[in-house]
Structure 1
């Protein structure tokens, strides 16, 4: 494993992290908590020190599983946990036995602080290493409240670093937010992969200018860039990929994937997933990547990308 400083002000982390959305038990098909925990253990055994989660993943379940595994390993030690707030699931719902309702964006100062405090309890830590505003829409990000919340949480020692998860497909339109809050935002998280490169246009140059840490999400395009999906692939309706990788989108992506075949042919010693992950951290602005994994086997393949040596794909 290789380790990098996450920007000028961020913590030192592994170049390959662990994306913990899928282990929350929602939106990614069936999961097994014991297998998920084994996947986390495997990641830590491979040298992963960055785990990215969110309060909304499994309505707190992802954070709880991370806490369980860290307890089993004798404590947090050098593990860096990045979580998120802003996607409000706490309000009462009519159809949910847990009392949680449909997810909505809530970006008031009081809510962000309250959500952070709930994450602290679930993760059983004294401070959150990184708290990211969770893919807020532009109108919410223009408000003072969420940034005042991050400032207050930092001042109170409840978070160590302030982050912002940029809304997917808004990497150019929302780039001005980084200008306005460059002194507060230590880390940004960005959607970026071999087929989706909008972040290179405006956001990455700004991150380089300001020394902002960059975490890359969706590096495998929800598993598509592993090469295991075909035009016949279908997902359960409860799996978010039934929309994000619909038959129409699959057909489009498959045509784009064909153009990458010369790249794969050039490096037959690596898997498609490893090449895709290495691409994401080969840009001068990026630092670490957080592929999701539900099994130890997937974790080990992902971690192998740290040692991949390929020329930058343009």
Structure 2
């Protein structure tokens, strides 16, 4: 396992982190709790020391609460406040109880607050000062959010979606990230599992516990067409998953790439095989060429307009 600086916090995190949404049972189908515990144990054995969860991730917190007993000091635990009506502090206290711990290492807002919600930043700073959390951040969506957070808050870092199919927000923000040096967690690294390469135009998602069952057929087919442009990254020995993760790891500004898994086999792939090699300059150049062909780096002014509209919608 490789370890990277978690922004300017002084701690090191594994380059690949454990994304706990899938083990919650409400994102990618039902979960075997015992197998989820075994997957976490494999991740730990392979050097993973970062896990990210949230109270809206099904039973993931309960599973983690059981797993972390006797090994809490080995892990950097990240979680989120997702807007529960009880408020941030009460929600945090409930999470601490479920997770069976007295602190969370990295506590995030699950969205960038709108103007009338900016008091939530002060609430984050307060729970950090109290010692209930060590570092604070936010989960965001686009380059406008990144710019606002890095220029107007005292947060320690943020979490953002990024993948082979979603390079633009990071690309547009990289110079600011390099200058400010925040902790950066990447989520949706496999674009809802589509970048595993396992799916094609005939794939169907019928499990109501699979978030993809709620996507329109048009949206699914668009993603699958984009995925086809990156088939050159897979072969008989290596699925697309590995190169999709290695692409993200090629950016040193990223602190950790979150990857979800529900089994020991997936854990071995995510926390061992991914790190067996790095992508060559030729592979990275071909990836960028394909991204440009797919217009994944759209006109900056068009993206800015879209970002502003998304920000206003919250």
Q: TM over 0.5, yes or no?
A: yes
Q: Is 1:82 paired with 2:78?
A: yes
How far apart, in 2, do the equivalents of 1:260 and 1:211 lie?
30
Check 1:259–1:25 CA distance in 2 against 1; reply closer, same or farther (3 A cut).
Answer: closer
Equivalent position to 1:233, from 173, 189, 203: 203
Equivalent position to 2:61, from 49, 60, 63: 63
Q: Describe how 1:151-166 pairs up with structure 2 within 5 A.
A: 151-166=125-140
Gaps of 5+ in 2: 289-314
How far apart, in 1, do the equivalents of 2:152 and 2:276 lie?
34
How far apart, in 1, do the equivalents of 2:145 and 2:249 lie?
22
**How far did 1:63 drift?**
1.2
**How far did 1:269 drift?**
5.1
Q: Is the 8 A contact 1:132 1:163 kept in 2?
A: yes
**How far did 1:175 drift?**
2.6
**How far did 1:10 drift?**
5.6
Structure (1 or 2) with the greater helix fraction = 2
Q: Is the 8 A contact 2:231 2:240 kept in 1?
A: no
Check 1:27–1:269 CA distance in 2 against 1; reply closer, same or farther (3 A cut).
Answer: closer
Gaps of 5+ in 1: 89-105
Q: Describe how 1:28-39 pairs up with structure 2 within 5 A.
A: 28-39=28-39
How far apart, in 2, do the equivalents of 1:127 and 1:203 lie?
31
Residue in 2 that maps onto 1:311:
280
Check 1:50–1:121 CA distance in 2 against 1; reply closer, same or farther (3 A cut).
Answer: same
Residue in 2 that maps onto 1:95:
none
Q: Describe how 1:206-285 pairs up with structure 2 within 5 A.
A: 206-235=176-205, 236-244=207-215, 246-264=216-234, 270-285=238-253
1:88-113 Cα shifts (integer Å, max 9, x gaps): 2xxxxxxxxxxxxxxxxx5xxx7111
1:100-128 Cα shifts (integer Å, max 9, x gaps): xxxxxx5xxx7111111111111122211
Equivalent position to 1:147, from 121, 126, 139: 121
User: What's the C-alpha RMSD, in Å, of the aligned pairs?
Assistant: 2.0
**How far did 1:311 drift?**
2.5
Q: Is the 8 A contact 1:83 1:132 kept in 2?
A: yes
Equivalent position SS for 2:96: helix
Q: Is the 8 A contact 1:214 1:286 kept in 2?
A: yes
Q: TM-score, normalised by structure 2?
A: 0.83
How far apart, in 2, do the equivalents of 1:31 and 1:7 lie?
33
**How far did 1:263 drift?**
3.8
Check 1:26–1:281 CA distance in 2 against 1; reply closer, same or farther (3 A cut).
Answer: same
Residue in 2 that maps onto 1:99:
none
Q: Is the 8 A contact 2:27 2:210 kept in 1?
A: yes
Q: Describe how 1:160-179 pairs up with structure 2 within 5 A.
A: 160-167=134-141, 171-179=142-150
**How far did 1:143 drift?**
3.0
Q: Describe how 1:4-15 pairs up with structure 2 within 5 A.
A: 4-9=4-9, 11-15=11-15
How far apart, in 2, do the equivalents of 1:221 and 1:150 lie?
29
